[in-house]
Amino acid sequence: MNDFIFKDNELYCEDVPVKNIASEAGTPFYLYSLATLRRHFKVFDESSKVLNSLVCYSVKANSNIAVLNFLFKMGWGADIVSGGELFRAIKAGVDVNKVVYSGVGKTEGEIEFAIKSNILMFNVESIPEVFLIDKVAGRLGKKAKISFRINPNVDPKTHPYISTGLKKNKFGINIKHAIPAYETAAGLSSIDIAGLDCHIGSQLTEISPFNDAVAIVKELLDKIMSKGFNIRYLDLGGGLGITYENEMPPHPSTYMNSIKNILKDYGGTVIFEPGRLIAGNAGIFITKIIYNKDTGSKNFIIVDGGMNDLIRPALYEAYHEIVPVIKRVGPRIKADIVGPICESADFLGKDRVLSPVSEGDLLAVFSAGAYGFSMSSNYNSRPRSAEVLVDKDKFHIIRQRETYEDLIGKETVPDHNI
């Protein structure tokens, strides 16, 4: 079942006409369906139960505290990559004992915040990082649980910018250095070695790179455990892809069953960090047409949402389906759908064929719930858009649109002595 559906050629989110939300919230805005989030939660949660597992939702995908609060209330923890994400997760009611912290550049202040917050575990990405965690934990009189993020050198066959598990990537520890890393950590008095971690990339649409990575990690796990290390957690990261256009990613249960096969004799907890799979198709982006511009060689539909709102097309040449919120009959048009930003990369879609549209009409950009708002910025001094959550026949503005005052609220002008 889809919760973004056309009824009589008009787009609804669950039971609410999208145009009604636009009248109240203004445009552009992100629109999320709680029913879809719930369904995605359920599918992943049930699939993961074939293993002794803990699911830590990847906050970076969609970090609105209303979305986080829902997933935490349903029982999941959080995968975080910054002090800011930890702050959000705590405000959204996370059980800190279900928080894992990845990222190559954790600062001393962030490490201190995480230790004081009693998170479950750091996924450590370098040797200098484990020394710093040991130092901070020692100063605080605590022991910090860690796992090492291992880079298995597997090609995830996704866009290079979201591929993380190749040896040329900055992430994790070269698999050849894994055992010495554990031996080094064993000598640190404020470190509790608890796990092994790996995350090879995002938007994976094939099962084989996962299988390859898990098989490599399992072999390493056995070696590490045979040396007497008590690896209670095996974190396999996120990465399962979604359908943007016509991709056919593996179903979570296919993925879980194939992993289960590889891990059959492992008795610890397996951690998953899904992000895109949960939020991506639970959200759309709504934008309004400002102008139709015919340059003589090309048609441009210029809309009020730009690359500052949704950067995926500009950054990865990502495809998002774009459809008018009200479908009209008449000759179809072909155009590039572009934003108001002063960059040629500012497009939402190229050479799109649409049913007829006019200035003032709304367009829906699909599959925008993950890495949409969370990657947005104020470039060109554009206030960031609103976020709205629909639950059956009600909608809630879960983030107000920013104002011009918000743009300069943190800025000050010194005396220039002119």
Ligand X SMILES: Cc1ncc(COP(=O)(O)O)c(C=O)c1O
Chain residues that interact with ligand X, rule: CB under 6 A: 58, 61, 79, 102, 199, 202-203, 237-240, 273-277
Which one, 45 or 346, has the nearer CB to ligand X? 45
Of 28 and 249, nearer to ligand X (C-beta) is: 249
According to DSSP, residue 274 is labeled: -
CB of 199 to ligand X, least distance (A): 4
Taking alpha carbons only, the member of 261, 169, 246 closest to residue 207 is 261
Supply 408's token pair: 């300069």
Helices (H), 227-306: 252-262, 276-279
Residue 177: name the closest of 201, 156, 152 by CA.
152
End-to-end CA distance of the chain: 65
Task: Please identify, using beta-carbon distances, which residue of 275 and 313 lies nearer to ligand X.
Answer: 275
Distances (CA, A) of 184 to 170, 283, 340, 404: 21, 44, 53, 51
Query: Which C-beta is closer to ligand X: that of 152 or that of 274?
Result: 274
Q: Which of 13, 56, 198, 342 is catalytic?
A: 342
User: How far is Cα 58 from Cα 46, in angstroms, rounded to an integer?
Assistant: 18
The Cβ-side half-sphere exposure at 31, using a 13 Å CA radius, reads 32
Helix (H, G, I), strand (E, B) or coil at 337: strand
Q: Residue 205 CA to chain centroid, in angstroms?
A: 16
Does 342 qualify as catalytic in the annotation? yes
The least distance separating ligand X from the CB of residue 69, rounded to whole angstroms, comes to: 19
Relative to beta strand 269-272, strand 53-58 is parallel
Exposed/middle/buried for residue 178 (C-beta within 10 Å: 0-12, 13-18, 19+)? buried
Q: Which is nearer to ligand X, 306 or 372 (CB)?
A: 372
Q: Which is nearer to ligand X, 21 or 56 (CB)?
A: 56
Amino acid identity at 346: D
Shortest separation between residue 184's beta carbon and ligand X, angstroms: 22
Structure tokens belonging to residue 166: 């190749």
Q: Whole-number minimum distance, CB 29 to ligand X, in Å?
A: 22
Min dist. Cβ of residue 261 to ligand X (A): 21
Helices (H), 228-325: 252-262, 276-279, 312-316
From the CB of 91, what's the least distance to ligand X, in Å? 20
Q: State the catalytic residues.
A: 342
